[in-house]
Amino acid sequence: ATFELGLLFIGWNELVLQPLHNLFMGDTKEQRILRHVLQHAVAGDPQSVLEAIDTYCSQKEWAMNVGDKKGQILDAVVREQRPSVLLELGAYCGYSAVRMARLLEPGARLITIELNPDFAAITQQMLDFAGLQDRVTILTGASQDTIPELKKKHDVDTLDMVFLDHWKDRYLPDTLLLEECGLLRKGTVLLADNVICPGTPEFLAYVRGNNRFECTHFPSYLEYSKRVDGLEKVVYKGPGSPTQP
């Protein structure tokens, strides 16, 4: 029931309210979020950018950012892992990219893959305004096409952390692709958003039932709502561990 209600909530916002608002305003929700940030946040201050997005999306228009509540969990994992190379799948408007990049240590970098070129452009403007553009590389394209290019084209050996927040049906195939491409090392942390709402049942069943992964669930709420959601922290233990019976 949680899965169906979550889809209904997101569908109502994304497929009904947003197109009507776009038609009335003559622009897109993502452009309106960016405009709000440019008008109300402080240039070079990532925290003010996050607060401006949270204010807009909680008071004006719902949007699929990780949000402030789950964002605190994301912050804690980034601080704990101190990644040198961090991959994000799904940038959207750049909220989580700003959130993670502001915590990176000197010399560390974030690579974010975004399918939608309009969203990628807004993410770039968001990072520029926050003063974090030097820490982040935005790659526009499908994750299944871009992941295999990370080693040769983008000088990635292995990843310290991966944040999954793109199409939910890509979580499992992209996790397997990351492993197949040799991008995961023992101790690589994958953090997956929206595993309850709208839900990623195949991904959860696989990683929780496989000895190559060690899983921890962080219960929370869907961004800017009271609907139950959660993040799954998945630690890669290395290849060769047999699947649990």
- From the list 81, 86, 234, the residue with the least C-alpha distance to 172 is 234
Average pLDDT over residues 175-189: 98
> Is there a binding annotation on residue 141?
yes
Q: How confident is the model at residue 227 (pLDDT cuts 50, 70, 90)?
A: confident
Does residue 2 register a pLDDT over 80?
A: no
Percent of the chain at pLDDT exceeding 90:
78
Average pLDDT over residues 56-82: 92
Residue 179 falls in the annotated catalytic set? no
The per-residue pLDDT for 228 is 86
Residue 65 falls in the annotated catalytic set? no
* Catalytic member of 194, 229, 232, 233: 194
d(C-alpha 172, C-alpha 200), whole Å: 9
> Is there a binding annotation on residue 143?
yes
DSSP string over 98-155: HHHHTTPPTT-EEEEEES-HHHHHHHHHHHHHHT-GGGEEEEES-HHHHGGGHHHHH-
The two tokens of residue 182 are 């040799």
The per-residue pLDDT for 67 is 85
> Is there a binding annotation on residue 149?
no
Each residue of 4-32: pLDDT tens digit? Answer: 555 565 565 566 666 666 666 668 999 99
> Is there a binding annotation on residue 194?
yes
Which domains, and CATH codes, for the chain? 2-236 (3.40.50.150)
d(C-alpha 73, C-alpha 36), whole Å: 25
> Is there a binding annotation on residue 42?
no
> Is there a binding annotation on residue 49?
no
Residue 51 falls in the annotated catalytic set? no
* Catalytic member of 88, 168, 229, 232: 168
* Catalytic member of 30, 88, 165, 232: 165
3-state secondary structure of 53: helix
- Say what the pTM is: 0.88
> Is there a binding annotation on residue 156?
no
Greater confidence, 197 or 94? 94
DSSP 8-class letter at 206: H
Greater confidence, 137 or 242? 137
Residue 145 falls in the annotated catalytic set? no
Residue 193 falls in the annotated catalytic set? yes
* Catalytic member of 193, 229, 232, 233: 193
- Assess contact for 153 and 186: CB atoms under 8 A: no
> Is there a binding annotation on residue 68?
no
Backbone angles phi, psi at 189, to 5 degrees: -105, 125
